[in-house]
């Protein structure tokens, strides 16, 4: 029989367990119980790992090390484990990491042009001319990947390093050799390459004829994709034709932002969207028709999407949040993954109606022919998703007129109670990750999802506790989406392997698992504490129990609509 104190403890624990699924009233109970539980020593937390970092001394992760499988399918467990066939990866992108901007025959791209001609567009007036110098230090990066223990390395090929003028008429063999060396080096240590064909760095000669706003670029891209399959497809089995078409389109609407900063909102960005969807489909069909039988790989474009939570629980804000997701993700995913194809109906209707009201003879959002709709639809092998943060969405007009943001009828803002990062656009909102995964499952009939980017920005510190907490909380939300919500999630990619050039933020924001000293010509690399944490997750196939669970039952940074 329990003593009086023991019975009292059991009673309190029972109440606390009932309280876990409560809403506002439950939080009130929790606030009352916490001091009592504290006095009984029931809410103590383990201290975090504080081992000092040093260079290259992460223990190599044994392969096929899997935690006991019984917790894989038990929804009552808080800390699920990953199955043996779940993939872990780290990523970089060519312009952000390689440097060697004009080395060995590489041609100029739109980010070379932007940063050289308009350094004031970058917060610290920097550029990617040298970046992390991965062009010369790729063997060191491969060693880091091996030490951390990832199964995949996602990197991008610089189009202008392979084709300096953008067309297959002039091939730069030095560029081909460079990427062959990376691919062979990865495979030699048991790491699979996941290759992005285009990560924002269009060859400048192609931008000179209009860039993605010119639909002929889709055929240039088709030829480029065919070349990559021919050169590397015998060893590369995972392909991402285009990374984040939504963000690329922003470069055609923004005036002082992403390259090419064309400053034509609501027109050029829609033209670019159409071209990119056709380019993706062409790259997919080339592979499917001419290479799949012999190479047996997978092809899917990678989408960026922030979750959008209604600012209030009003019907207007709930509908606005859905529109925000459709305008950012649905505009590019619906034509590929839906059974009907084409743009989401509400996106089409709103842009058409606004265009008519503005006096345009035709919609600012170009129409696909039925043949094009059918050609784009179904061009996927998995769902590649990049996610970082969550915004509030409120019904209303925001942005220039015309613009895609104004067409959506959504006012976006950030919840100031959510933890900040070093990036002004980015707050830490773990539950938003789970919500967008559930949305994709419902909207597109539960496709297999590979998280191709997820990460945290800070000032580059080695003891990066903020990044550790980010990965702990976001990966746990992924596990809940997988096991409690039934989402088919097959892989997770940490962005990024190393600190690099972070677009408009220059070198002021650092996303790396590995520190890079940009003041040192040698670009010295040092493992951060977060790399140790990620390595441990990969090795044990779970998030360590010593980190406290993230709680939705808080007065701050919680969802408007409960999960």
What integer is the mean pLDDT of 349-376? 98
Cα–Cα distance measured from residue 31 to residue 555, given in angstroms and rounded to the nearest whole number: 10
Please report how many Cα atoms fall inside a 13 Å half-sphere around the Cα of residue 522, on the Cβ side. Answer: 4
The pLDDT value given to residue 10 = 39
The pLDDT value given to residue 30 = 41
Confidence category of residue 529, pLDDT binned at 50, 70, 90: very high
Residue 383 host element (H or E): strand 383-386
Q: Is the pLDDT of residue 313 over 50?
A: yes
pLDDT digits (tens, 9 = 90+) for 196-249: 999 999 999 999 999 999 999 999 999 999 999 999 999 999 999 999 999 999
Confidence category of residue 49, pLDDT binned at 50, 70, 90: very low
Tokens of 402: 């015309």
The pLDDT value given to residue 9 = 39
Q: Is the pLDDT of residue 58 over 50?
A: no
Tokens of 358: 């503005």
Kind of pairing, strands 514-516 and 238-242?
unpaired
Dihedral pair phi/psi, residue 141, rounded to 5°: -65, -40
Q: Is the pLDDT of residue 492 over 90?
A: yes
Q: Is the pLDDT of residue 366 over 90?
A: yes
Lowest mean pLDDT among 70-79, 106-115, 349-358, 403-412: 70-79
Q: Is the pLDDT of residue 12 over 50?
A: no
Cα–Cα distance measured from residue 261 to residue 486, given in angstroms and rounded to the nearest whole number: 40
Per-chain mean pLDDT for the chain: 89
What integer is the mean pLDDT of 271-298? 99
What secondary structure does DSSP assign to 232-264, as a single string? Answer: HTTT--EEEEEB-HHHHHHHHH-SSSSTT----
Q: Which residue has the tokens 């060859």?
A: 203
- At residue 521, the 3 state secondary structure works out as coil
Catalytic residue at 84?
Answer: no
Q: CB–CB of 51/462 below 8 Å?
A: no
Of 140, 244, 309, 504, the catalytic one is 244
pLDDT digits (tens, 9 = 90+) for 321-344: 999 999 999 999 999 999 999 999
Cα–Cα distance measured from residue 227 to residue 222, given in angstroms and rounded to the nearest whole number: 9
Cα–Cα distance measured from residue 156 to residue 196, given in angstroms and rounded to the nearest whole number: 4
φ/ψ region of 64 (left if φ > 0, alpha if ψ in -120 to 50, else beta) reads: left
Predicted TM-score (pTM) of the model is 0.87
Kind of pairing, strands 525-527 and 307-310?
unpaired
Confidence category of residue 541, pLDDT binned at 50, 70, 90: very high
The pLDDT value given to residue 34 = 44
Of 36 and 275, which is predicted with more confidence?
275
Confidence category of residue 556, pLDDT binned at 50, 70, 90: confident
Tokens of 22: 């409560």
Residues 6+ apart with CB under 8 A from 29: 15, 19, 22
The pLDDT value given to residue 563 = 86
Q: Is the pLDDT of residue 294 over 80?
A: yes
pLDDT digits (tens, 9 = 90+) for 372-384: 999 999 999 999 9
Cα–Cα distance measured from residue 201 to residue 197, given in angstroms and rounded to the nearest whole number: 10
Cα–Cα distance measured from residue 562 to residue 21, given in angstroms and rounded to the nearest whole number: 10
The pLDDT value given to residue 552 = 66
What integer is the mean pLDDT of 417-437? 98
Catalytic residue at 254?
Answer: no
pLDDT digits (tens, 9 = 90+) for 504-515: 999 999 999 999
Confidence category of residue 550, pLDDT binned at 50, 70, 90: confident
Lowest mean pLDDT among 8-17, 171-180, 263-272, 494-503: 8-17
Q: Is the pLDDT of residue 554 over 90?
A: no
Q: CB–CB of 111/128 below 8 Å?
A: yes
Instruction: Please give the share of the chain, as a percent, with pLDDT higher than 70.
Output: 85
**CB count, 10 Å around CB of 4?**
7
Q: Is the pLDDT of residue 555 over 80?
A: no
Of 322, 453, 477, 505, the catalytic one is 453
- Among candidates 200, 190, 188, which has minimal Cα distance to 251? 200
Residues 6+ apart with CB under 8 A from 262: 211, 213, 251, 252, 253, 254, 268
The pLDDT value given to residue 73 = 47
Cα–Cα distance measured from residue 5 to residue 442, given in angstroms and rounded to the nearest whole number: 48
Confidence category of residue 77, pLDDT binned at 50, 70, 90: low
Confidence category of residue 33, pLDDT binned at 50, 70, 90: very low
């Amino acid at each position: 029989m329990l003593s009086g104190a023991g019975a009292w403890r059991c009673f309190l624990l029972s109440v606390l367990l009932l309280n876990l699924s409560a809403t506002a009233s439950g939080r009130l109970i929790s606030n009352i119980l916490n001091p009592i539980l504290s006095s009984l020593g029931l809410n103590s937390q383990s201290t975090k790992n504080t081992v000092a970092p040093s260079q290259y001394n992460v223990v190599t992760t044994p392969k096929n090390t899997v935690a006991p499988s019984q917790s894989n399918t038990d929804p009552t467990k808080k800390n699920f484990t990953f199955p043996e066939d779940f993939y872990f990866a780290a990523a970089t992108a060519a312009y952000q990491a390689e440097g060697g901007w004009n080395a060995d025959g590489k041609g100029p791209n739109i980010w070379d042009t932007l940063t050289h001609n308009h350094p004031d567009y970058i917060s610290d007036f920097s550029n990617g001319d040298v970046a992390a110098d991965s062009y010369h230090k790729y063997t060191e990066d491969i060693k880091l990947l091996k030490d951390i223990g990832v199964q995949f390395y996602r990197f991008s090929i610089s189009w202008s390093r392979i084709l300096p003028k953008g067309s297959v008429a002039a091939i730069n063999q030095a560029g081909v050799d460079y990427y062959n060396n990376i691919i062979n080096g990865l495979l030699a240590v048991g790491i699979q390459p996941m290759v992005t064909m285009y990560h924002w760095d269009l060859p400048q000669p192609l931008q000179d004829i209009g860039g993605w706003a010119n639909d002929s670029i889709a055929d240039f891209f088709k030829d480029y994709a065919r070349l990559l399959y021919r050169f590397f497809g015998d060893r590369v089995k995972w392909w991402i034709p285009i990374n984040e078409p939504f963000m690329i389109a922003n470069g055609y609407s923004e005036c002082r932002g992403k390259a090419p900063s064309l400053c034509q909102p609501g027109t050029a960005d829609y033209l670019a969207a159409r071209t990119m969807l056709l380019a993706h489909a062409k790259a997919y069909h080339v592979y499917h028709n001419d290479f799949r039988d012999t190479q047996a790989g997978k092809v899917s474009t990678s989408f960026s999407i922030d979750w959008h939570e209604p600012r209030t629980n009003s019907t207007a804000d709930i509908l606005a949040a859905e529109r925000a997701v459709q305008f950012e993700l649905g505009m590019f995913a619906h034509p590929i993954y839906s059974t009907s194809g084409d743009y989401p109906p509400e996106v089409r209707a709103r842009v058409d109606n606004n265009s008519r009201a503005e006096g345009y003879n035709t919609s600012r959002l170009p129409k696909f022919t039925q043949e094009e709709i059918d050609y784009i639809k179904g061009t996927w092998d998995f769902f590649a998703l990049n996610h970082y943060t969550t915004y509030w969405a409120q019904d209303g007009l925001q942005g220039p007129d015309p613009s895609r943001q104004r067409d959506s009828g959504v006012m976006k803002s950030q919840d100031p109670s959510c933890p900040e990062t070093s990036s002004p656009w980015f707050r830490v909102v773990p539950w938003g990750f789970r919500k967008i995964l559930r949305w994709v499952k419902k909207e597109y009939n539960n496709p297999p999802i590979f998280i191709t980017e997820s990460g945290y920005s800070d000032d580059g510190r080695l003891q990066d506790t903020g990044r550790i907490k980010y990965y702990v909380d976001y990966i746990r939300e992924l596990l809940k989406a997988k096991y409690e919500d039934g989402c088919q999630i097959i892989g997770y990619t940490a962005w990024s392997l190393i600190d690099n050039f972070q677009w408009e933020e220059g070198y002021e924001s650092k996303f790396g698992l590995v520190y890079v000293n940009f003041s040192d010509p040698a670009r010295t690399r040092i493992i951060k504490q977060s790399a140790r944490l990620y390595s441990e997750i990969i090795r044990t196939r779970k998030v360590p129990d010593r980190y406290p669970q993230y709680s939705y039952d808080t007065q701050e940074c919680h969802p408007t609509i409960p999960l």
